[in-house]
Structures are given as structure tokens and as C-alpha cells.
Amino acid sequence: MGWILFGLLILGGTLIGGVFLVRNNKGKSSWEPAAPKNTRSQVLLKDSAELIPELEKHIREGNYELIDEVVDEAETFPPDKQVIIRQFIIESGAVERYKAGLSDVDYKIRALSADRLGKIRARDTSALLFQAMADKNEEVRLIAATALKSVGDPSIAGMLVAALKEPNRWLPARVAEVLISFGQDSLPALQEALKEKDPVLRGYVIEILGEIGDESATGSLQEALGDEDSNIRLRAAAALGSIGQNDSVIHLLKLLEDPEVKVRVQAIRSLGRIGGAETAGRLAGTVNDVDAAVRYASLEALRNMGPEGMNILRATAAAGSHPAAGRAREIIKEEGNQGSAKVNIIYKQ
């Protein structure tokens, strides 16, 4: 999940300005601030019977100012009006203007066009927005990805998965964000990609499957636990922990003998999220692992495994010479404090 979080931090640092450079039908350019309240489109909306004829009139005259305003504010309209407006924009051909805008030399025009296509949500724009995700300008790339999530067209899931092979063109974290937004509809393309030999691609795909969290992916992920690449085993273990299926426990337990410390640690963390009391006994052994990271991961997992887990923690804490005794005592104290806080809340109620 690390690469996704890192990428999303980058996305969060990108600010989209509230002012865009737009062009009118005469080819001139001007700066326009975000639309104020009670704009013309809002006034026309009060009598929705007037809005569509007015828009048609402006299109005939080649004047798109009101069209742009309506598209920009569409998401503030009542849902039923949004559907009518989007359908009109698509059927009238006004959407073609924004498609063309994605190729404009000015990045601000490209960004605004992508934003408006996202608000219109026409599925036949998905491929164009996908290409815009590889734009040379960061703002355009970000807005195009956001627009694709709004359009919600899972038919391009295969294109997005293929883009993971070219991280220099398409930022994997951004591609992942769009695929995750498609949810279950992304699964066929993602599971097909697990058959690829490229371990980097498979690693990305496994993390995305974990983020989507659909139980139908558990079989493929359990199989990936036996991969020869330790990074694949690690990511598959993390993904299974996120999905949380009980039938993954038996597969994760096998990783407790993995030669790689990082894999054992992740398997234990996932068991801590899924496994109940019946798993605690197996972690009693990993508390004695030669590696400190494995021991401490085991202690953290045991705290989530009910009375059986706490009993193992107490036994470890009581063994003064045990290398994990100190941390075991800290966890017991923390759990005790949390229990006291819960009791106080109950009495106050």
C-alpha cells in the first residue's frame, strides 16, 4: 500500500486553481473567476422549461458562454435536472468542444476541458481522458483522473491496467485511484494481469485488489502467497489482510516459516486483522522468533485475539528474560487503560 499512499500524498499537494483561462467563440482569451451565486444558469433553472430552449438558442448563435456556465454548475442542480442537462449537452454536440479542448496548446484549456467532460460524464470521452492522464502538465493529469472517476466507465479498466506497465507516463498511484473507483468492475482486468510475468505489474495489481477489497479476489491472492518473488508474497499477504476473509488464515499461517523477515511480519499483521483466538496459539511460537520485528509484530497481533492472545502476552511479560517481555508489559498496560476508559464511558452514560 506504500506506493499508493505516497502517490496520493503527491496528488493531495496539487492545488487546482479556482480561475481558468477560457476562450469564447471568437477565439479571444479571458480570465474568469469561479461562478458566483445566483448566476444566469441558476436563475434560468427556476423555470427549467426555459433553460433548454435558451441553451439551444446560444448554440445556434455559436455562443457557448451560457453552455460553459451550465456545465460548470451542473453538479449544484437537483439530480433530475443534472440528467436532463447532461443529456442535452451530449446530444446537442456541445460536448465535442470540450473533447477538442483536450488537445489545445494551452494547458489551462486542456485542464478545463477535462474538468467539464468529467461533469458531463459522457462515456465516449473515457479514452480521451485516459490519454489526458499522460499529459505533460501535472494539473491536466490530475483533473483527467478525477474526471475519469466521475465518468465511471469500467470498459477502460484494461487500458488502465496496461498503463501500470508504463509508470513514467501514467503515475501508478493515480491509475490505481481510478481502478479502485470502479470497484468490482475492475476485477476481470486486474485478475487477468496477475498472469503476467512482470513482478512490478503484479505487485501493483495485488495492492489494488487489496484496496478494492472484494472477496472474489481472495483465490488469486492466496495463490500469489506462493510466488517466488518475496515482494509479491508480502503484498498478497497485505491484500488478504485488508479483505479479511477467514479462509485466508490457513494460507497466511504457512508464511510464518517464510525465509524473508518482511514476509513473516506482514503475514502476522494480516493474521492479527483476520485471525481469532484459534490463531493465537500459532503466534505463541513467533513471539520467540530470532528477529525483533517478527516478535513485536506477533505481540501486536496477539492483542487482537481475545483472551487467548492476552494470556500469551501475560506469559511473555512474566518471563523477565524474554527479549519481548518489556513490550508485552506495555501492551497489557495499554489494553488495561483502554478497558478502564470504556468502563468510565459506560458509567457516565
pLDDT of 41: 62
What 149-152 contacts at long range (C-beta under 8 Å, 24+ apart), as own/partner pairs, is 149/118, 149/177, 149/178, 149/181, 150/118, 150/119, 150/121, 151/117, 151/118, 151/121, 151/122, 151/123, 151/125, 151/126, 152/121, 152/181, 152/182
The reported pLDDT for the residue numbered 337 is 66
Residue 64 scores a pLDDT above 80: yes
Residue 48: pLDDT band (50, 70, 90) is low
For 289-325, write each residue's pLDDT tens digit. 999 999 999 999 999 999 999 999 999 999 988 999 9
Region 112-116: mean pLDDT is 97
Which of these, 220, 20, 302, lies nearest to 137 by C-alpha position? 20
pLDDT over 90 percentage in the chain: 67
CATH number of 154-243: 1.25.10.10
337 against 152, higher pLDDT: 152
Q: Is the pLDDT of residue 158 over 50?
A: yes
pTM of the prediction? 0.81
Coil, strand or helix: which one is 81?
Answer: helix
Per-residue pLDDT tens over the stretch 188-243? 999 999 999 999 999 999 999 999 999 999 999 999 999 999 999 999 999 999 99
pLDDT at site 349: 41
Tell me the one-letter amino acid at 215.
E
Mean pLDDT of 3-10: 49
How would you label 129-160 residue by residue, b for 16+ Cβ within 10 Å and e otherwise? bbebbebeeebbbbbbbbbbbbbebbebbebb
Residue ranges covered by each domain of the chain: 154-243, 275-348
What is the tens place of the pLDDT at every residue in 252-285?
999 999 999 999 999 999 999 997 778 999 999 9
The reported pLDDT for the residue numbered 129 is 98
